Structure 1
């Protein structure tokens, strides 16, 4: 499968396709069971031409398990969901349950991870607000055994992606936002939720795919994920995930659109 959009906006990496599968591709990158890793590495790897796969045993981190649609994995966080609420906010050193959990997990955590566990990542003001955040997530449990990331050009005719992911700079992001609204007649067809990087390419596009008018999802507002992706793709990028129906709609709308006119051409000239 090819993308005219990717060509006309000058995408530097390949579009990555996310799909559900009961079998994993041969030679796909997969994390070891129980090892910490970031799902965004698999998406970035697919954008660079290498297929990746994860399962309920190999999703890398608890947020990644949630993001890929393997249920509410926050329940399995060390110390339970209570400790996760403190981990994402003010830290577990301020309450007895958290301190006890910290002693149990310290031998198994990297130094940086343990520091976050104890003192918090500071992404929410209070643990109660973290719970409200969890309650707002479109947590899902997908039917497939695996989530697969593949370069778009390597999809077979039998494979149907759940979403297509572009890694884009500000000019390209602007063009995709315009194109997502081009054939709609209104102006709120792209969302930018606060969520983990993997959640903005996974469960949020999954939810949008159930709508009659699915929206695109902008991601990589996750600061931690930005650090990890920068090492693979460079900085100054955002993710733009489209449910398959919206991707096809946008592909069909390239011809005759602003992407063939002088303003866009002048913007990208000399890049």
Structure 2
């Protein structure tokens, strides 16, 4: 299946779903896309520097830039977003997108209860640093295969570029179609998972985790409170590997979308939702 045929079938899929925004693809490359959104270059960071007391956190935070924030800009401008080891923007994002390993211990405290006796009270997303450490160790992204991790709309993939994962941004009505069609494609009633993680963890780290284990899983994400400001109201992410996505496209002719099913009533709700949010054409 060529990239052009994937794009053609994606347009059909979007029509069935009633989704107006094309999905993004994520891939790694040694070439930074032109006019892409991403962090500025920051001071060197590493666990080694951190443990030696040589990491200037205040200086490193001066170039803070969220992966989800840059993807949000890329969505608005129909462009690309990127992160690299030098242009990392976020300590967590650098780890989750395979740009730094092992992760900073700072993350274990920042995501949980902070540092006692300091103004950093932590995000309180997990109960203690140990639970965050276990999460980080489990997800453990591979070493990046190229300099840049790039997120961009499928239609911007050039000849020879292949996305590893496909990311949909959608509200519940459209998500119901994505969820059910994934089940229809795989025959697995547990093919959609939603483990804890940041916005970018759900779009790259967890999909990689399952893919490397040979498990065909879609990852439902976007629950991270810190990422919500970079997403539409009521919107979540739905990420699948390219191999699973191709199967989903191939399964469309026999799916609920092309037969008389309850999807027709849901499809009307998709249109009502788009009208309510001022997104109908």
Query: Same fold by TM (over 0.5)?
Result: yes
TM-superposition CA deviations, 1:37-86 (whole Å, max 9, x none):
110123334434111222111222011011211133632xxxxx1x4322
Pairs aligned (count): 240
Moved more, 130-139 or 247-256: 130-139
Q: After TM superposition, give the deviation of residue 199 of structure 1 in Å.
A: 0.9
Q: Normalising by structure 1, what TM-score?
A: 0.82
Task: Indicate the residue corresponding to 2:91 in structure 1.
Answer: 62
Task: Indicate the residue corresponding to 1:8 in structure 2.
Answer: 16
**What residue ranges of structure 2 are gaps of 5+ in the alignment?**
43-62, 273-281
Please tell me whether the aligned partners of residues 141 and 209 of structure 2 are also in contact (alpha carbons under 8 angstroms). no
Pairs within 5 Å for 1:64-79: 64-72=93-101, 74-75=103-104
Q: Normalising by structure 2, what TM-score?
A: 0.79
Alignment partner of 1:201: what SS? helix
Quick one: structure 1 residues 138 and 174, their matched pair in 2 at CA, closer, same or farther if it must change by over 3 Å?
Answer: farther
Q: After TM superposition, give the deviation of residue 157 of structure 1 in Å.
A: 2.5
* Residue 139 in structure 1 maps to residue 168 in structure 2: no
* Residue 87 in structure 1 maps to residue 110 in structure 2: yes
Q: After TM superposition, give the deviation of residue 213 of structure 1 in Å.
A: 4.0
Task: Indicate the residue corresponding to 2:249 in structure 1.
Answer: 251
Pairs within 5 Å for 1:183-198: 183-198=185-200
Quick one: structure 1 residues 19 and 262, their matched pair in 2 at CA, closer, same or farther if it must change by over 3 Å?
Answer: same
| Separation in structure 1 between the aligned mates of residue 89 and residue 15 of structure 2, nearest angstrom | 32
Quick one: structure 1 residues 186 and 58, their matched pair in 2 at CA, closer, same or farther if it must change by over 3 Å?
Answer: same
| Separation in structure 1 between the aligned mates of residue 181 and residue 246 of structure 2, nearest angstrom | 12
**What residue ranges of structure 1 are gaps of 5+ in the alignment?**
76-80, 100-114
Please tell me whether the aligned partners of residues 15 and 164 of structure 1 are also in contact (alpha carbons under 8 angstroms). yes
RMSD across aligned C-alpha pairs, in angstroms? Answer: 1.8
Alignment partner of 2:209: what SS? helix
